[in-house]
Amino acid sequence: MTGARPSGLIRDPRSSSRSTLLELLLDVFYIATFAQLSMQLARDLSWRGLANTVILLLAAWWTWSVIAIATDFFDPRERVIQRVLATGMLGVGLMAAAIPSAFAEHGLLFAGAYVGIHLARGLMLVRALRGHFAQLRVKLFLFWFAFSGLLWLAGALTDPELRRALWAAALVIEYIVAALRFPTPGLGRVPLEQYDRLTPHFGERYQQIAILVIGDLVLASTLKLSILGFATARVVIFLAAIAAALLLWQIYVFRTELLVEKSVRRHPRRAVRLAPYVYVVLVAGVIATTAGVDLALAEPFGSTHSGLVALVVGGSFLFLLGRVIFEYELLDRLSRSRIGWLVLMIAVMPALKLLAPIFVVIVNAGILFGVTRTDAWRGRRDAAA
C-alpha cells in the first residue's frame, strides 16, 4: 500500500480498469444484503412491507454507488481509500444483519451503520485531501450526509411509522441533492468537469454489481430448494429460476461493451450521474423476482395472488426497463422489440393470476427467452447493415 499523498489520491485515467481485490471483497458483503432484502420482501408483501424494503434497498444501494464513484475518482490502491473500503465493509455487514428488524428493535444499528459509512468516508478523505482541489467535492458530500444523518438517527429513535417517514425523507434529500451536484451554502456545487473524469473502471464496477445481484436469484433459489426438499414441482421452479438468471445475464450483457465505451468516450458526465439511478431499478427488479421465486417454491400449486405475479414478472419488467433506459440515454437508441416485450409483460400479468405459481415462474422465463431471441435478431441485423 502506498501513502496518502493528496496528488497521488486521484486516479490516473490511464491506469488499469480492473477492480482491486478489496473492491471485490466489498461486493461480497452486498450479496448478503441483496439476499436479506429479497427474503424480507417475500416475508411481508403488504404495502407497508414493500415500503420498508424499498427504503432499505435505496439506503444500501446508495452506500455502494457513492463508494463506487469514490474508487473511480480516487485511486483504490492508496491507503486511505483502502480504509474507506474497509469501513464500508464493516458498515454494510452491520446493515445487512439489521435488515430483518430495521423497523423494529434494530433501527439504530441500521441507521448508525449507514450514517457511519458516509461520515467516516468523508472525514478520512477531507483530512487526506488537505490543500487539494478535490477536497471541496468531499466537503460537499460530507455536509449533506451529515444533514441527512440527523434524520436517519432521529428516525431510529422513534416508532416504526415515524421512522419510515423520516428515513424516506432522508433518502429523498440524498438522491435529489446528488442529482443537483450537492449544492451547499457558501461552498457551491461539485464542478461539472469533475464528472468528466470517468474511467473504464466505473463501467466494470457496475457490471460486477449487476452480475452479483443476478447471482442472488441463483443463491436464494438454491438455498430454498435445499431447505424445502426436491419435490418435482420445486425442481421445475428451480430450473426455471436458473434459466431466468442466465437470461437476465444475457439481456444485460447485450451491447454492454459498447455502452461502457460510449460512456467513457462520449458521455462520461451523463453516465456517472445517471448510473446510480438506473441501476437501482435493475437491482430492485432482480430482488423482486427472487422474492417471487421464493414464494413459488414454498407453494408451487397454491393460489396465485397479484403480489406474487408482480414480484416475478414485475421484477423482470423493472430489470428490462432499466436496461432500456440506460441504452437510450447513452446510445440514443430505443429498442422497439424490448419495448414490445415490456408491454407484453404488463398485458399478461392479470391473466397469470389464474395460473399456479409454478406456471408464473415458467412463463416469466419464457418471456425472458423471447427477449434474448429478438436481441439476437437485432444483433445479426445490425452486423449485416
Q: Inform me whether the pLDDT recorded for 148 exceeds 90.
A: yes
Name which of 158, 68, 190 is nearest 168 in CA terms. Answer: 158
Determine the pLDDT at residue 247: 97
Q: How crowded is residue 74: how many other Cβ atoms within 10 Å of its Cβ?
A: 22
Q: Inform me whether the pLDDT recorded for 181 exceeds 50.
A: yes
Cell of 83: 480504509
- For the ranges 201-205, 273-277, 345-349, the lowest mean pLDDT is seen at 201-205
CA dist., res. 54 & res. 47, Å (int): 10
Determine the pLDDT at residue 2: 42
- Reported in sequence order, the residue ranges of the chain that DSSP labels E, i.e. its strands, are none
pLDDT in tens, 78-102: 899 999 999 999 999 999 999 999 9
Determine the pLDDT at residue 152: 98
Beta bridge partners of 10: 74
Q: Which residues contact 227 (CB under 8 A, 6 or more apart)?
A: none
Contact between 49 and 165 (Cβ < 8 Å): no
Determine the pLDDT at residue 251: 94
CA dist., res. 297 & res. 361, Å (int): 10
Q: Inform me whether the pLDDT recorded for 385 exceeds 80.
A: no
Determine the pLDDT at residue 271: 77
3-state secondary structure of 351: helix
Determine the pLDDT at residue 190: 87
At 217, which amino acid appears? Answer: L
CA dist., res. 285 & res. 320, Å (int): 8
More confident residue, 185 or 15: 185
Beta bridge partners of 42: none
Determine the pLDDT at residue 118: 96
Cell of 272: 456517472
pLDDT tier at 326 (50, 70, 90 boundaries)? Answer: confident
- For the ranges 163-172, 201-210, 234-243, 325-334, the lowest mean pLDDT is seen at 325-334
Q: How crowded is residue 96: how many other Cβ atoms within 10 Å of its Cβ?
A: 22
Q: Inform me whether the pLDDT recorded for 66 exceeds 60.
A: yes
**Cα within 13 Å of Cα(108), Cβ side:** 5
Long-range pairs for 256-261 at CB < 8 Å and ≥24 separation? Answer: 256/207, 258/331, 259/203, 259/326, 259/327, 259/330, 259/331, 260/200, 260/203, 260/204, 260/207
For the segment 250-279, the average pLDDT, to the nearest whole number, is 77
Determine the pLDDT at residue 300: 97
pTM of the model: 0.92
Which position has the grid cell 417517514?
Answer: 165
Q: Inform me whether the pLDDT recorded for 1 exceeds 70.
A: no
Q: How crowded is residue 127: how many other Cβ atoms within 10 Å of its Cβ?
A: 12
For the segment 183-190, the average pLDDT, to the nearest whole number, is 90
Q: Which residues contact 167 (CB under 8 A, 6 or more apart)?
A: 55, 59, 111, 151, 152, 155
More confident residue, 311 or 385: 311
Please calculate the CA angle 245-249-253 and round it to the nearest 5 degrees: 175
pLDDT in tens, 6-57: 556 877 666 666 888 999 999 999 999 999 999 999 999 999 999 999 999 9
Average pLDDT, the chain: 90
Cell of 76: 483504490
Determine the pLDDT at residue 383: 67
Q: What percent of the chain has pLDDT over 70?
A: 92
